Amino acid sequence: MNSSVSPRLLRTPFLVLLALACGACGSTEEARDPSLGATEAALAHQLALDAAKAKEAAALAARGPVEPRRESAQQAQESPVKKREAPARENRKEPVGKKEQAGKKEIAKKEPAKKRDIGFEIEKKVREHFLASLEVDIAIQKNDAAKAKASGELASARLALVLATDASKHYQKVEAPVHRAGLQLTIDRGAFSLEQELLELEQMEAGYADFRQDEHSRKTGEIVTANLRKEVEFKCRSLERAQAALEDFETYQLPRKKRELTAAVEEKERAMERARAAIERTRFESKLAQTRAENKLSILEYELAALRAEESKK
């Protein structure tokens, strides 16, 4: 080995020297052999870049350590304050330890316990007991009012059912037969009147038949018989109208009215059932409200008795 190697070269790491040698060899081989491929040329270029970086690192190492930067006067003044604040921040971030918890418990034990004011508590319970007794009275009154209202609704529903039932029965037994009888009477009267008109027309035609030779009597007979024929026509039309009215009543109006009355009766029955259910629901709800108020009153009476017993022991 040549002994004339410089000391700086000896301090250079072995890998750096190896990279330098590879870079040099690659450059000479590329110069000697221009037929190398693109891949080998790129590899050689990368090795050259690595060698350049190694040279820079070796140069920096040869310069020696960099001197620390001196702080300014203001930074020197602020540094003690920051050093004192840093532990405080660290203590705030750290969780509370067992020693600190034990210290807090000791401090809590040393603090004097607040003295109970039993007289104030008794007075408070007495007032709450008075308010609870008022609530019980109000609940009882509401219960009575709700029951009276529900009973009134049930009575109204029952009365409406009775009225609807009576209306249905009255229509079927009285109104419908009377109306039918009236229509039938109109038909009978029309038929009788038509029959009378026909007889009168026959008599007129027979009476004026003997006076056909007399011009005046003939014209008078024609006028009278024409009027009678018109009356007969009107009587026939009236009779047909009365018969149609009776048929409409029996086939449409009467069944429809019966259905309406029956539906009204059924609706009133359902309303009465709802009123009965409302009475039961009101009874339970009122009982629940009253029981809650009485239960609250009983609890307050028990608590008040316990406080008075505790006060008497002292």
Q: Do residues 277 and 148 make contact, with C-beta atoms less than 8 angstroms apart?
A: no
Quickly list H helices, the chain: 7-11, 14-32, 38-63, 73-93, 98-110, 118-170, 176-207, 215-248, 254-313
Compute CA distances 43 → 36, 39, 92, whole Å.
11, 6, 56
Spell out the residues 6+ positions from residue 98 whose beta carbon is closer than 8 angstroms to its own: none
Q: Domain extents for the chain?
A: 1-61, 118-313
The single-letter code of the amino acid at 255 is P
Considering only the C-alpha atoms of the chain, give the largest distance between any 2 of them, rounded to a whole number of Å. Answer: 188
Pairwise CA distance, residues 3 & 5, whole Å: 6
pTM for the predicted model, two decimal places: 0.47
Looking up tokens 């920096």 gives 60
Residue-by-residue pLDDT tens, the chain, 314 positions: 444 444 444 444 444 444 444 444 444 444 444 444 566 667 777 777 877 887 777 777 666 554 445 544 445 454 454 445 544 444 454 454 555 666 565 655 555 556 677 778 888 888 888 888 888 888 888 888 888 888 888 899 999 999 999 999 999 999 999 999 999 999 999 898 888 888 888 887 777 766 666 677 777 777 877 888 888 888 899 999 999 999 999 999 999 999 999 999 999 999 999 988 888 888 888 888 888 888 988 888 888 888 888 888 86
Q: How many CB atoms lie within 10 A of CB 192?
A: 12
What's the token pair of residue 313?
Answer: 């022991």
